Structure 1
Amino acid sequence: MMKNAILMTGANFQVHDAFFRIKILIAFTLTCMIKTVFLLLSIMIKLFLPTLCIFLASCEAVIDNRGYNNDNINTAKIIIGKTTADDVQNLLGSPTTLSDYVRPGQKWTAWLYITKRTATTSFFKPKVLSQKTVTVVFDENKIVRDIKEYASEGIEELEPNCDQTTTSSYEENVGKGIFGSFGRQLNSSPKKNT
Structure 2
Amino acid sequence: MKKTSSPHRSLLAACLIVTATACSPIIEVRGNNPQPEQLAQIKVGTSTREDVQALLGTPSNITPFGEESWHYISAITEREAFFEPEVKERKVVTVVFDRAGTVRAIDNRGLEDGKDVVPATRETPTAGKELTILQQLMGNVGRFSKSPGDKK
- Corresponding position of 1:54: 18
- Corresponding position of 1:136: 95
The Cα offsets for residues 65-94 of structure 1, whole Å up to 9 and x where unpaired, read as 100044376222222222211111111111
User: Quick one: which of 165, 174, 177 aligns to 2:123?
Assistant: 165
Give the letter for the 1:165 counterpart: E
The Cα offsets for residues 16-64 of structure 1, whole Å up to 9 and x where unpaired, read as xxxxxxxxxxxxxxxxxxx9xxx9xxx7x88666444323211101111
More helix by share: 1
Q: How does 1:70-85 map to 2 (within 5 A)?
A: 70-71=34-35, 74-85=38-49
Task: Kindly indicate whether structure 1 or structure 2 has the higher relative contact order, using CA contacts under 8 Å at least 6 residues apart.
Answer: 2
Count of residues paired in the alignment = 133
- Corresponding position of 2:73: 114
TM-superposed CA distance for 1:123, in Å, is 1.1
Flag structure 2 segments of 5+ consecutive residues without an equivalent. 144-152
TM-superposed CA distance for 1:116, in Å, is 0.8
Give the letter for the 1:129 counterpart: K
User: Quick one: which of 51, 57, 61 aligns to 1:97?
Assistant: 61
Counterpart-to-counterpart distance in 2, 1:70 and 1:170: 53
Q: Does 1:126 align with 2:85?
A: yes
The TM-score, its normalising length taken from structure 2, stands at 0.66
The TM-score, its normalising length taken from structure 1, stands at 0.54
The Cα offsets for residues 165-187 of structure 1, whole Å up to 9 and x where unpaired, read as 2235568x999xxx9xxxxxxxx
Flag structure 1 segments of 5+ consecutive residues without an equivalent. 1-34, 102-106, 180-194
Counterpart-to-counterpart distance in 2, 1:94 and 1:82: 19
CA separation of 1:132 and 1:118: change in aligned 2, threshold 3 A: same
Counterpart-to-counterpart distance in 2, 1:140 and 1:148: 18
Counterpart-to-counterpart distance in 2, 1:66 and 1:94: 14
> Which of 1 and 2 has greater Rg?
1
Q: Tell me how large the CA RMSD over aligned residues is.
A: 3.4
TM-superposed CA distance for 1:164, in Å, is 5.4
CA separation of 1:168 and 1:138: change in aligned 2, threshold 3 A: same
User: Quick one: which of 94, 112, 123 aligns to 1:153?
Assistant: 112
Q: Equivalent pairs: percent with the same residue?
A: 31
Contact 1:130 1:152 in 2 (8 A): yes
